[in-house]
Amino acid sequence: MPHSSLFYFLLHRCVARCFWHSQITSAFIRSHNLTVVAGRITKQTMVPPTRKAVNRYNRKGIKKHRPDIIVVDLKDHVLGRAAAVVAKQLLLGKKITVVRCEQLTIAGSEIRNKIKYLQFLRKRKLTNPKLGPFHHRSPSDIFIRTVRSMLPRYTKRGQRALRQLVAYEGVPVNVARTGGRVVIPRAQRHNCYRNERRFTVLGNMCKNVGWKYSDVVKKLEAARVEKSGRNHKRMEKLRDAWKAARKAALSKMPKKNVEVLKKFGYA
């Protein structure tokens, strides 16, 4: 074997042996809860504050706080004002889901806002348009982009806040089942615009600039409203039956007991 070939053969054996030794050493360190500090292998020890926190959370009855999800109904809200309130609450750590984004409003006539958006569609990167800017057509994406511009999105704090926001067109089933929805009074249209002020519905404008699912959302919303009306009528009957049964039960009870129940709001 020539000298050069022998040199490379021995070098390869040496590198392979060092690699396997390093793999075995790292596995041994992980399995025995060890750490390497300044070139020396030492036993890992949990500092007292961390151990105290772990014991506190492992104690029975104490759970980590998880913020509730706030569901906001954006029907007849002003786009910018609603986005400002949502952005502030996201920075405060709230989890927010917004629904019915297609019924947001923008000040100004529809043709005016359509021309402004068509001007925005012409903006692109000259050398490679695939790199942006990206032009969203759906109302939910437009709302998220509006909120994003009000957050410090290049910091971890802003990115974490933006991840807490979810937006939908219409009211999907998984959100409709969660319970009540809230509104933002100072962002509602009738509190912001004069009666004679012209405005644009965001869903109509998006349909004119390329959003394809306006009819699908309207169809699903009509089905949801019909189903919710049926459930409301069914629950009305149950509530009436419950009131009658409660009244009959209270009529059979002694007056002293009824007075005690009324005192605590149970009668």
Contact 100, 203 (CB under 8 A): no
Q: Of 177, 155, 153, 179, whose CA–CA distance to 165 is shortest?
A: 153
Give me 193's structure tokens. Answer: 């615009």
96 CB burial (10 A radius; 0-12, 13-18, 19+): buried
- pLDDT for the residue 147: 97
Q: Decide: pTM greater than 0.75.
A: no
Q: Does domain 65-211 have CATH number 3.90.1180.10?
A: yes
- pLDDT for the residue 9: 57
The string over 46-67, giving b where at least 16 C-beta atoms fall within 10 Å of a residue's C-beta and e elsewhere, is eeeeeeeeeeeeeeeeeeeeee
- pLDDT for the residue 265: 80
The one-letter amino acid code at 156 reads: K
- pLDDT for the residue 21: 53
- pLDDT for the residue 41: 45
pLDDT tens per residue, the chain (267 residues)? 455 566 555 555 654 555 455 555 555 555 555 554 444 444 444 445 566 666 766 665 555 556 688 999 999 999 999 999 999 999 999 999 999 999 999 999 999 999 999 999 999 999 999 998 999 999 999 999 999 999 999 999 999 999 999 999 999 998 888 878 999 999 999 999 999 999 999 999 999 999 999 999 999 999 999 998 998 899 898 999 988 998 888 888 888 888 888 888 877
- pLDDT for the residue 46: 47
- pLDDT for the residue 253: 87
- pLDDT for the residue 58: 65
What residues have CB less than 8 Å from 147, skipping those under 6 apart? 83, 86, 87, 90, 162, 165
Structural domain boundaries in the chain: 65-211, 226-266
- pLDDT for the residue 3: 54
Query: Which contiguous run of DSSP H or E holds residue 160?
Result: helix 156-163
HEC-encoded secondary structure of 194-227: CCCCCEEEHHHHHHHCCCCCHHHHHHHHHHHHHH
Q: φ, ψ for residue 107 (rounded to 5)?
A: -65, 140
Contact 98, 199 (CB under 8 A): no
Measured distance CA(106)–CA(150) in Å, rounded: 17
The one-letter amino acid code at 250 reads: L
